[in-house]
Structure 1
Amino acid sequence: MNSPMHRLGFNHYGAGHAEEIGNTVDYAMSPHVDLSIFTILTQNESGLEVRGPEGEWICVPPVQDALFVFLGDYLQRWTNGLYVACEHRVRQVRTQRLSIQYKHRPGHDAVVSPLDRFVGEGKPARYGPFDTGGQYVSFLKSLLGSG
């Protein structure tokens, strides 16, 4: 964590966009966990859904003057699964939906793997090392179909 990364993003989901591009699935953003330590989000309209413990999708309604905070993949890896990253997606929207998100991540020089306090006898490491530089870039390219 010598030089952590901060990302502030703005997302726009247009009403009817799915039909315009021929989308055949029932979501606007595919299910995923964020490659971050945590994410903070606010939204003006419904659309965000999180995967519940039984595998069901739960709607996260917008709440005025409130922020939604969820854990990312890196925290799950560091804690060897003690804390679980929040799988989420955005369902198709019928109105213009805007969201603002802040993601906190380690710098590109970090390698994320379970910390010693979360592994040991009877608690083997559940995750291998993840390079937040090269592996992260390769992962993003694979999502975009360019890698």
Structure 2
Amino acid sequence: MCADDLGLGSAGFDSFMKSPMHRLGFNYYGVGHGEKIGNTVDYAMSPHVDLSVFTILAQSRPGLEVKDPQGEWICVPPAKDALLVFVGDYLQRWTNGSYVATEHRVGPVTQPRLSIQYKHRPTYAAVVSPLSRFVDEDSPARYGPFDTGRQYAVLLQSLLGSG
């Protein structure tokens, strides 16, 4: 549906999805989670965008915050029987910024919180860069190529402090 919406046709991303590296994650945040892991700020998960095409999230309790276009953090209350869908970094890169990745974080945890996320990711080592449809003289490429294998691993290691 996303490829169709972007005018790429239903097979627009097929070459990037031959053996996708999807990720299903489960997060638990106990009360005071940020303090327990040594955060010196008032949030439990640092602000970030997901390195994915998109992320689908289910959450049990309040805590998720997204940054609005003015730079303010907005609380996203959990909604019964609803899933949230975030645009990820790879879709932002492919569309040269036409779609914007959702910057988000987990704020202070005042009651135990669970979230389940599914990250839709391309094939390992797919190179993500602005697609030609989104680049021209008036809109030069805003992003260089990003290797979802090697570069992703290096970036993840740096974020986790293990590299």
TM-score, shorter chain, exceeding 0.5: yes
Higher strand share: 1
TM-score scaled by structure 1? 0.97
- How many pairs were matched up? 147
SS of match in other structure, 1:124: coil
Alignment counterpart, residue 45 of structure 1, candidates 61, 67, 73? 61
Indicate the residue corresponding to 2:120 in structure 1. 104
How far apart in 2 are the matches of 1:137 and 1:26? 28
CA 68–135 in structure 1, closer or farther in 2 if over 3 Å, else same: same
How far apart in 2 are the matches of 1:20 and 1:106? 34
- Between 1:20-29 and 1:77-86, the stretch displaced more is 20-29
Deviations 1:17-65 (CA, angstroms, capped at 9, x unpaired): 3333442101100000000000000100000000001000000000000
Question: Whose RCO is larger (CA < 8 A, sep 6+)?
Answer: 1
How far apart in 1 are the matches of 2:36 and 2:90? 35
SS of match in other structure, 1:102: strand
How far apart in 2 are the matches of 1:21 and 1:129? 34
Indicate the residue corresponding to 2:106 in structure 1. 90
Matching of residue 138 in structure 1 with residue 154 in structure 2: yes
Q: Per-residue deviation at 1:16?
A: 2.1
Q: Report the RMSD for the aligned CA atoms in angstroms.
A: 0.9
Indicate the residue corresponding to 1:124 in structure 2. 140
SS of match in other structure, 2:133: helix
- Structure 1 residues not aligned, in runs of 5+: none
TM-score scaled by structure 2? 0.87
Alignment counterpart, residue 30 of structure 1, candidates 23, 41, 46? 46
Tell me, yes or no, if the aligned pair for 2:64 and 2:104 is still in contact at 8 Å. Answer: yes
SS of match in other structure, 1:5: coil
Q: Per-residue deviation at 1:121?
A: 1.6
Indicate the residue corresponding to 2:92 in structure 1. 76
Q: Per-residue deviation at 1:127?
A: 0.2
Matching of residue 114 in structure 1 with residue 130 in structure 2: yes
How far apart in 1 are the matches of 2:112 and 2:156? 26
Indicate the residue corresponding to 1:17 in structure 2. 33
